[in-house]
Structures are given as structure tokens and as C-alpha cells.
Amino acid sequence: MYDLTKIDLGKDEAEQDQRLREYFLKTSNYKNALSGIKTIVIGRKGSGKSAIFTLMRSELEESGVFVVPVTPDQYSWSALKDYQEKGILPEQAHTNAWKLTLLCSVIWKLSDTGLVSKDSELAKYYQYMKDAYVPNQDNWFLNVVDKIKKILSGVKTHWISFNFKETNIVATPLRIIDEIKSLLHNEWPQGKQMRILIDRLDDSWDASKESEQLIIGLLKAANELNAIFSGKIIITIFLRSDIYDNLFFDDQDKLRQNEETLYWNSDDLKAVVCERVRVSLGLNEPDNNKVWQNLFSPKAYRSRASAEKYIIDRTFKRPRDIISFVRFAIEVAVRNGHSIIETNDTRIAEEEKYSQSKYKDLIIEYQKQFSYIKDLLDSLSGSLHKLFKDELLKRLECFIENNKLHVQPVQILRHLFIWGVIGVKRQGRAGVKQRGGAHFRYYYDDPSINPLAYNAYYIHPSLRYYLNISEKKEKINRPV
């Protein structure tokens, strides 16, 4: 048994976690992103994208690689989003804007480290833009975008000494981009690599068409530059899966090979908790099972499940979920004077905090795109945990009518499945043996599942207490 009062599971926000490096689990996802093999890191909120971003930045800088971290705020996002070019599609205009923004970020970094000579043509770009670029200034990206917009809007060549071999012509985006690419190729410092890491794009995401075009422009620009500079410059984008999955554009199939989707299995999630316990208590025990056994009581839960299964079943298979649930359970166990987390401690933690926190997390995660999500979740309150297809579609039809929405019931059903609110029960695939027969599967377990092919759905266990969902025919009426 451990001293529960001394266990610190860390912060929910990776950027604020001072000990993240000590207990970070370096999965194959991390290794692929760190090496640059994969350049589009996709995952749900809380799946570990920002933790990978934070650790990658630190590890790359320590290895001597130049790193440019980019986390656009709502102001710089808005400035980029509003950019337009006459005569071309918005998607291509945004691609041009991102290309120039990223290339100029490279120039700034090279200049800042003394790798651009005063006589270099690159220095002329730097001289024009250096007043906008202050690496440690909070609003540097906004200043950069503002300068970029001025250039892209048609700066005359006599304003800046661009090397077009012509005079008094408009410095079009493509001319500027082509010149910078050529100069960087010719003057690239031998043996040097630059990594541009772009995170927190979802902070300013508003689900508008312009936002979609801006993200698509970034993906295209990064893909083109990664290919052109082949290892000299590697741009890695961290993006929420629900945003990425709803983007559709030409040549999207060419990006598939660059995708790294964050999936966590039960063993990985268990390891996340155990590693944090080890660091907190200074343990040398390498066996996760033994660490877990000293943390949780061996008593089975009312569903005859072990503590591991009970807790993981109530997560959306994300590190943030299991960390917060175990943290709540530790707090209750300490309050109850227990030296080990008992089944009742876990249940109380679920009822007092965890179930409501997952309800709120879903709303926060999706309300920008689906303003009705809170009302939709509330409409399920008091139902049974198992809903047959016809019953659920009727519920959704009434919800649509009451809220005057312009959407089909099957569309909302799909959304509920993608969000993880509902899952399906399925048997093992042909030729695949699974222990225990039928299993409940959610979108995060297998995105290839078509929910419309099933006749019954099961509300996620994490939401059942807060939404008063019963597993019995007699629903439980809890006092408000």
C-alpha cells in the first residue's frame, strides 16, 4: 500500500505540468512524430496532442534542432482567415498565406541564430519584418500575420529589395514564395534542421467555412513545404480529430501517409497512471500490475468488474480521462481515511465529480460546432442505458422539431456515436476470438463502425450517473 496523500498525478494541461517529462509515456505515436516520419498528429481533446507538442519541442531543442513553436491566438487566426486574393479560390489564397508565413518564420529563426549573412538576400526580408518578430512576445504571431497580409496584398518591389530582376512590379504571393524557397535552398546552413510545430488550432476554431479553408490551406502548405525541403524543414501540425475528419479537399488522399492518429489501449492508459505514481513516490517497481494492486482494492465492483476495467470503461480512452478519474478517487479515499482506493471511493468520485465533468467536457469540446449539444445530452436524461434504434430516432426527431433544427435524425445519431455518447454491442469478427463474447464498442475503439448498421445503442457509462441513466427498466429518480 502507498501513502495516497503523496501521490501527485500532475496537471491536466501539458504546458503547465512541470514534471511532464519525468512520467511522459513515449509511445510509438510520439516516436513517429518526433522523428518527422508523421507530420499530422490527430486526436481528440485530451488525447495527448499538447503533451507530445511540449515534449517534442523540448527534446528537439536539446538535440540542437531549431524549433519554431506556433500557437495562433484568436486575433492572428482572424487576421489569416480574412485574407483573400482576387482571382483565386479562398483555399488557395489561404495556402499562399500560410506558405509565406511559415517561410518567413524560418527566415526569422535563421537570422535570430546568426545564420543569415548581412549580404544575403534573405536579410532583406528579415530587415522588413524584424520589427514584427519578437520571439518571446505573446503577440508575435499576430504581428507576423499582419506583416504577411501587407506583403500578400501587393507590396511594390521598391518597398522591399526583392530580387525579381524587375522594377515597379507588384510582388505577388507566388513570386515572393518562389523567391524565398530558392534563397533558402541556396543558402541553407549545412547540417541544420528546422522543425515548425503548430498546436492549439482548435482554440480559435469556429466551425465556419472560412475556418475550414484556413485549416485546409495550412495542411496543403505544410505538405508542399515538407516535400520541397525534404528533411531540412519539417512542419508538424497537431489537430483535433473531429475537425480533421470533417475536412474534404483535393489531393487529401496524399496526406494519409503523414497522419498519426492517437489511440490508447487499456494497457497504455494503465501505464499512464502507474508511471505518475512511480515518479510521485520514487518507486523502482517496473511492473504496472503491482503498482495498480497497491493503489486499488482487489474487491470487485457491483458489475463484477475489476477496478481497472471499471475505470477504463468510464473513460473515452484518453489519458486526461483516466488521470482525472483516479485523481478524484484518491481524493475521496484520503477523505475517508483509507490507505487504498476502495470500490466505494471510486463510486463516490464518479458520482460527485467525474460523471458531471465528462458531461461538461463534451459540451466544451463540441459546442462551437454544435450549439445544441447541451440540450441534446439533456434530452437523454432519465432514459435507459440501452436505446433501440427506432426509439432513439423518434427521440431525435422530437428534439429536432422542438429546437427547430435543419438536420436529419440519422445525422445527429452519427454525431452521438462520433462523440462517444453512444456505442454498440458487437461480437468478435469472423476469425477473431474475443474473450467474454460480446463487447461494447465506441467510435474511439473503432472509427470504421457504421452505427446505422446496428439496431440498439448503449449510452456511455461515464454519463449515466449525471444524466440519471438506468440499466434497469425501473428508472431511478434522484432528487435534484
pLDDT digits (tens, 9 = 90+) for 430-470: 444 445 456 899 999 998 999 999 999 999 999 999 999 99
Section 37-58 average pLDDT: 95
Confidence (pLDDT) at 73: 65
C-alpha to C-alpha distance for 270 and 266, rounded to whole angstroms: 6
Q: What is the pLDDT of residue 169?
A: 46
- Strand 66-70, strand 170-171: pairing: unpaired
Give yes or no for residue 418 having a pLDDT over 70. Answer: yes
pLDDT of residue 157: 29
Mean pLDDT of 210-229: 93
| 216-220, 272-276, 436-440: segment of lowest average pLDDT | 436-440
Mean pLDDT value of segment 64-77: 77
- pTM for the full model? 0.85
Percent of the chain with pLDDT over 70: 83
pLDDT at 136 over 90: no
Smallest Cα–Cα separation from 194: which of 359, 66, 327? 66
Provide the sign of the torsion angle of the four alpha carbons 61, 66, 71, 73, taken in this order. positive
In 3D space, the residue among 188, 190, 197, 192 whose CA is nearest the CA of residue 59 turns out to be: 197
> How many CA atoms lie less than 13 Å away from 135 in the CB half-sphere?
14
| Residue 13, pLDDT above cutoff 60 | yes
Per-residue pLDDT, averaged over 182-188, amounts to 91
Residue 461: name the closest of 452, 471, 453 by CA.
Answer: 471
User: How far apart are the C-alpha atoms of 202 and 275, rounded to whole Å?
Assistant: 29
pLDDT surpassing 60 at residue 394: yes
If residue 236 lies in a helix (H) or strand (E), which one and from where to where?
strand 233-240
- What integer pLDDT is reported at residue 427 of this predicted model? 73
Alpha helix ranges (H) inside 68-89: 74-81
Mean residue pLDDT of the chain comes to: 85
Question: Rg for the chain (alpha carbons), in Å?
Answer: 26
Can you read off the three cell numbers belonging to residue 464? Answer: 449515466
Q: What local confidence, expressed as pLDDT, does residue 216 receive?
A: 93
pLDDT of residue 260 exceeding 90, the answer is: yes
Which of 55-59, 75-79, 409-413, 420-424 shows the lowest per-residue confidence on average (mean pLDDT)?
75-79
For 152-168, what is each residue's pLDDT tens digit? 544 332 223 333 344 44
Q: How many angstroms separate the CA atoms of 395 and 384, rounded?
A: 13
Q: What is the C-alpha separation between 370 and 21, in angstroms, rounded? A: 35
Share of the chain above pLDDT 90, in %: 61
Which residues have a Cβ under 8 Å from the Cβ of 390 and sit 6 or more positions away? none
